[in-house]
Structure 1
Amino acid sequence: MNVSLILILLLVGAIATFLSGDKFASKVALLFSLAALVCSSILVNQFLGGINISLSNPWILQPNVSFALKADGLSLAMVLLTTSLLPLIVLSSFGNNFNNSKNFYGLVLFMAFAMVGTFLASDGLLYYIFWELALIPIYFIALVWGNGDTEERKKAVVKFFIYTLGGSLFMLIAFAYLYTKAGSFLLDDLTKLDLSTTEQTWIFLAFFLAYAIKIPIIPFHTWQAKVYQKAPTVGTMLLSGIMLKMGLYSVIRWQLPIAPLAAKTYMPVLIGLSIAGVIYGSIVALRQKDLKKLLAYSSLAHVGLIAAGCYTLTADGLSGAVSQMIAHGFVIVGLFFAAEVIFRRFGTYKIDEMGGVRSQASKFTSMFMILVLASVALPGTLNFIGEFTVLYSLSQVNIWYAVLGGTTIILGAYYMLKMFQNVMLGETNTKLFTDVTITEIIVFVIIIAFLLFYGLYPKPIVDLVMPSIKETLIQINR
């Protein structure tokens, strides 16, 4: 079995969901998302068993483009993240009624197909195609099924589309230049190029613009909060839980190995921008009165720390960044789902209209509290493993990076616990808040169990990704 099977399954799933009609679309999407999870698990087991599941076949002769998919520990970790979160995201939407649901769920699966392709592609042009394909479904998901004022939503979504598309064009130009030097788009060929310092600088900056917008890193973050707020919660989960990981993953897979001299030269600036995002996101989150916007800025702070770990160019930094990518994916999906559960009962995301939930819904309160504690990196959760490892790597570069980066824990604990107090505690709300349904419990329990299990036993994740990280470091230090 080769790794292309997972792509075929997701693409067929998107088509089947669209053809199934509105009545069965959600069930068909859930079925195919579970099948994708099973398939990716089998592929990982085969990879760990020493079977080569990568693929490379000629595709286009002129220019020389290959349909090349690289299945190593790093890419498979991201594929598993995608296929694990996908059924949870689909299942979490069962409490919503979407117009033209066959189109909605078909786009969700097509987006998963494009994101998995991005994680697996090892030919630059193929990678770019998947990268851009992932943008199309989320554009329509946010535009058509989003919430709030229609004009504001259109402005936010169009800004997001133009920003990301514009940044990606610079990456395409960089690939075109690299092709003139290597005669190939294959990652292995591009990393072997003997580029001058000037060439590496321009290539690095072109990639950085595309990734900084997608992650996002300040000052390229201005699209994020509005889109997270205006998109339907499923769209917000896809963006925050998986899509932003495309940028972080690409830093490790493409940017650092191709332009290592530039990465070393600009390390202080890159880490500084990333940590600035940590502090900025945390401070702005303190002032938010809308629950989804608060979580959006919280996400900005956390991914800033992950980006800082990537740019330390150390084994601990890269390993911690990958662990934190996975942990952040699960916890942010859980938190946005909690916001959606509250919205279903109260009909609002405004924090000052909430409160008094604990006295009506003890199960929901307990699960929400665990997610909040995981978000602030409580020991025993995977988030703690990731953040601690990243902060340790920052201290190896400069102790002040670790001190400033550590503000995400202090400020994060303050604004998240304050949010929990305002949303969940206080006198009983006049609005009825029924406790969680079986479907909602399943989603929360799976997310919490994952975060706690790998928080206590992170070895499988580390063992999976470490060989790829060591290979990347060899390429950086060549």
Structure 2
Amino acid sequence: MLTISLILLPIIAGLITLTTKGENTKKVAAAFAFAELALGLFIYGSFVPDATTQFATSFDWIHSAGIKFSVGIDGISLILVCLTTLMVPFIILSTYGNDYKNAPTFYALILFMQAALIGVFTARDIFLFYFFFEAALIPVYFIAAIWGGENRIKVTFKFFVYTIFGSLFMLLALVYLYLQTPGIAHKSDFASIYEAAKMLDITQQSYIFGAFFIAFAIKMPLFPFHTWQPDTYVEAPTAGTMLLSGIMLKMGTYGLIRFVLPIVPAAVDKYGMIAVILSVIGIVYGSIIAIQQKDMKRLIAYSSFAHVGLMSAGIFSGNIDGIQGALIQMLAHGINVVGLFFIVEIIQQRTNSRELARLGGITQTTPNLTVYFIILMLGSVALPLTNGFVGEFLLLKGVYAYNAWVGAIAGLTIILGAVYMLRMVQKSMFGITSKITEGFTDLTFSEKAVLFPLSFMVIALGLAPNMFLKLTEPAVIQLLSIIK
């Protein structure tokens, strides 16, 4: 029942939030989000580090079709459940400096999206996975469309069309796999689908690989399916951008691990190099575009695109280092990107600008902001002893083992990432104070309440990565045994 509780609590919280008014709305939403975090931490502490699915619940959903409401948590799911329960409370806290029109709806949508995300990462039935996969799209669409920038309608419509288009391909693949399960009464649980997939020939696997790859590549996104991402990240309110970049894009990387690798291993062997090359192109392309950006929010959007490319390349390398690196990097990236987007929001609130050319000298009056900004930046560029280093090292090791030349090109992320992140910090924080940064005030208590824990996690995960790696390793080894 613990997994069911993880899904139900944000739904109940969202419904209660809809009935609140005034400042109580933020407090109620935050209180429930921290209650969800406490439940997530309890599950983390109770998890036994083996390959089994734990805290499982299953009952008939659509009995005549053999579809079950089946949920549970293994090591692969656990790290993403931890990410979701960790980030949502701080995303809500980050909004305390803003007043939103129709705030109850705004916070309820965040909580509903959290429930859907937990559902995606814990589903053990392919159609339940698809249900939550689509359900997660609805709240963030309305968050971006209602509370976004001037071009929000055009941009969110593009985002909606892209993701629905990809999801249709995934649905076709899931239905086909469901029909391959033996007997008149087909089954849709993961174990039955994995077993049925063993009978697929290379042609069948190729079509399913293509459908899954398009769906997950759009959601992440990967090159060349990324064109919706920068505009959506910029136009969405910062809380929406945090949800998209910090958590939602991980649905795509999780889908690659959970579906593509174990279901169509022969197709991965045949076409995996194409996927890796596209991923590496995304790393270099995203990094070069990030270097050229003048807007801080758009720069971080492209940096996120580049980081996702490395995660994808590591997953398709098909070895334990690549997959373990991708999992730990999902957590690290979520922490870093949420913190960085929040810092950009703080700067914009105080200066009414995100343009690097108009900023400068902020560090002269903001020792706290400067320290947190630099810690999060160093985590993003994978400095040793930060959270980003662990995942990036394992990812590059995995990609290099897959193909040395591709690994060498992917390694450019270390250099290019340092260029665009150091450039952003230097131009925004150091140098001469500009007209709009004069009198820039340091962090408030609520802002410190967000940035201190995130910065602490950057260092803690860098110093003790095994607190997660040891939990994911058995499930990854089992996954690799299915592939081989």
TM-score when scaled to structure 2? 0.96
C-alpha deviation, 1:22, in angstroms? 3.9
Residue among 189, 206, 216 paired with 1:186: 189
1:370 aligned partner: 375
* 2:155 equivalent to 1:156: yes
Pairing 1:103-182 to 2, within 5 Å after superposition: 103-147=105-149, 149=150, 152-182=151-181
- Residue 398 of structure 2 aligns to a residue in which SS? helix
Q: Does the Cα contact within 8 Å between 1:354 and 1:422 map onto a contact in 2?
A: yes
2:352 aligned partner: 347
C-alpha deviation, 1:62, in angstroms? 2.6
* 2:466 equivalent to 1:459: yes
Pairing 1:211-230 to 2, within 5 Å after superposition: 211-230=216-235
2:63 aligned partner: 61
Q: Does the Cα contact within 8 Å between 2:17 and 2:104 map onto a contact in 1?
A: yes
Residue among 462, 469, 473 paired with 2:480: 473
C-alpha deviation, 1:460, in angstroms? 1.1
One-letter amino acid of the structure 2 residue matched with residue 466 of structure 1: E
Structure 2 CA distance, aligned partners of 1:113 and 1:22?
24
1:440 aligned partner: 447
* 2:36 equivalent to 1:36: yes
Moved more, 46-55 or 353-362: 46-55
Residue among 197, 206, 216 paired with 1:201: 206
Structure 2 CA distance, aligned partners of 1:220 and 1:11?
32
2:76 aligned partner: 74
Q: Does the Cα contact within 8 Å between 1:22 and 1:100 map onto a contact in 2?
A: no
Structure 1 CA distance, aligned partners of 2:11 and 2:357?
43
Which digits, 9 at most, give the CA deviation of each residue in 1:77-127, with x for residues without a partner? 101100000101000110111010000000000000001100001111111
1:298 aligned partner: 303
Q: Does the Cα contact within 8 Å between 1:281 and 1:301 map onto a contact in 2?
A: yes
C-alpha deviation, 1:49, in angstroms? 8.1
Structure 2 CA distance, aligned partners of 1:402 and 1:374?
21
Q: Percent identity?
A: 43
2:254 aligned partner: 249
C-alpha deviation, 1:16, in angstroms? 0.9
Residue among 308, 316, 333 paired with 2:321: 316
Structure 1 CA distance, aligned partners of 2:233 and 2:302?
10
- Residue 59 of structure 2 aligns to a residue in which SS? strand
Q: Does the Cα contact within 8 Å between 1:174 and 1:207 map onto a contact in 2?
A: yes
- Residue 73 of structure 2 aligns to a residue in which SS? coil
Q: Does the Cα contact within 8 Å between 2:67 and 2:187 map onto a contact in 1?
A: yes
1:233 aligned partner: 238
One-letter amino acid of the structure 1 residue matched with residue 34 of structure 2: L
1:7 aligned partner: 7
Q: Does the Cα contact within 8 Å between 2:49 and 2:471 map onto a contact in 1?
A: no
One-letter amino acid of the structure 1 residue matched with residue 371 of structure 2: S
- Residue 44 of structure 1 aligns to a residue in which SS? helix
C-alpha deviation, 1:21, in angstroms? 2.5
Q: Does the Cα contact within 8 Å between 2:79 and 2:472 map onto a contact in 1?
A: yes
Pairing 1:353-392 to 2, within 5 Å after superposition: 353-392=358-397
- Residue 69 of structure 1 aligns to a residue in which SS? strand
* 2:419 equivalent to 1:420: no
Structure 2 CA distance, aligned partners of 1:394 and 1:403?
9
C-alpha deviation, 1:439, in angstroms? 1.2
Structure 1 CA distance, aligned partners of 2:65 and 2:176?
13
- Residue 65 of structure 2 aligns to a residue in which SS? coil
C-alpha deviation, 1:267, in angstroms? 1.7
One-letter amino acid of the structure 2 residue matched with residue 184 of structure 1: K
Structure 1 CA distance, aligned partners of 2:454 and 2:54?
31
For the aligned residue pairs, the C-alpha RMSD in angstroms reads 1.2
Which digits, 9 at most, give the CA deviation of each residue in 1:161-194, with x for residues without a partner? 0100110011001111111111111111111111
- Residue 68 of structure 1 aligns to a residue in which SS? strand
Which digits, 9 at most, give the CA deviation of each residue in 1:242-266, with x for residues without a partner? 0000110111011211111111111
Structure 1 CA distance, aligned partners of 2:386 and 2:113?
29
C-alpha deviation, 1:449, in angstroms? 0.7
* Structure 2 residues without counterparts, runs of 5 or longer: none
Structure 1 CA distance, aligned partners of 2:302 and 2:321?
26
Q: How many equivalent pairs are there?
A: 474
Q: Does the Cα contact within 8 Å between 1:343 and 1:349 map onto a contact in 2?
A: yes
C-alpha deviation, 1:429, in angstroms? 2.6
Which digits, 9 at most, give the CA deviation of each residue in 1:407-463, with x for residues without a partner? 111011011111111111111232331001111112111011111011011111101
Structure 2 CA distance, aligned partners of 1:335 and 1:29?
22
Q: Does the Cα contact within 8 Å between 1:25 and 1:101 map onto a contact in 2?
A: yes
Which digits, 9 at most, give the CA deviation of each residue in 1:335-386, with x for residues without a partner? 0001001011001111111111011212111211111111110001010000
Moved more, 113-122 or 14-23: 14-23
C-alpha deviation, 1:402, in angstroms? 1.6
C-alpha deviation, 1:43, in angstroms? 2.0
Moved more, 442-451 or 216-225: 442-451
Q: Does the Cα contact within 8 Å between 1:46 and 1:53 map onto a contact in 2?
A: no
C-alpha deviation, 1:52, in angstroms? 3.9
Q: Does the Cα contact within 8 Å between 2:49 and 2:75 map onto a contact in 1?
A: no
Q: Does the Cα contact within 8 Å between 2:49 and 2:470 map onto a contact in 1?
A: no
1:99 aligned partner: 101
C-alpha deviation, 1:2, in angstroms? 3.2
Structure 1 CA distance, aligned partners of 2:282 and 2:54?
39
Structure 2 CA distance, aligned partners of 1:208 and 1:389?
23
- Residue 54 of structure 1 aligns to a residue in which SS? strand
**Cα distance change, pair 69–317 in 1 and its aligned pair in 2 (3 A):** same
